[in-house]
Chain A
């Protein structure tokens, strides 16, 4: 079945550092890929998405490129802020059928001033 694998957290960075959170997936079809962000005490909210190979999703300075050849969708940001501290979850939605997403375990990001 479909699956998503994320790097283990927590990821701890200083403010203005470069961020990469790795995400790889397994799917038999051609899924859409998502990054969700969860701030403390809140539900998940969509950060960005990409629906086909080589698409780049971007939002709030975060970017991720849909790489079909490596089945990856790594999240990057050039300069993180303290306010970016949250849990980031990679997900895929296989459009062959139900659009029901499969989520990764989530990666906690902690940014220090």
Chain B
């Protein structure tokens, strides 16, 4: 398996622009997570899905952030409009139900909002 795939790997945009981050989880995994990592706050859970359904979005910072999972193999995290304080590395991770609680992370998208 190719692991969790994220795109783009790097994104530079200007304040006010829309940003869309993409994730393909590992096939067969039924949980998908979006995290944000910054020096100040460390790793923060933004939202997670189970079987394509959003379960907990309490970590989403504000209404400018939205996430979708239209099918088991694809998810997006959208920021509209983007702000400089959104600059961070965004990770997608997937896992599977059961005893195995390990999360498998993608390589991340490094976002810079100017």
- Which residues of A approach B to under 8 Å, CB–CB? 32, 34, 41-46, 49, 89, 93, 95, 98-101, 103-106
Contacts and interface: CB of A to CB of B under 8 A. Distances in A.
Interface of B: 4, 31, 33, 42-43, 45, 48, 55-56, 91, 93, 95, 97, 101-108
B55 A43 contact: no
Main secondary structure of the interface of A (DSSP, over half): loop
Given A89-B43, A99-B95, A45 B107 contact: no
A101 B31 CA distance: 12
Contact of B42 (A34, A43, A45, A105): A105
Nearest to B45: A100
Contacts, number: 47
21 contacts: A32-B101, A34-B102, A41-B107, A42-B107, A42-B108, A43-B106, A43-B108, A44-B103, A44-B105, A45-B105, A46-B103, A89-B42, A98-B55, A98-B56, A99-B101, A100-B56, A101-B101, A101-B103, A103-B43, A104-B42, A106-B42
A8 B72 CA distance: 38
Nearest to A45: B105
Contacts of B56: 98, 100
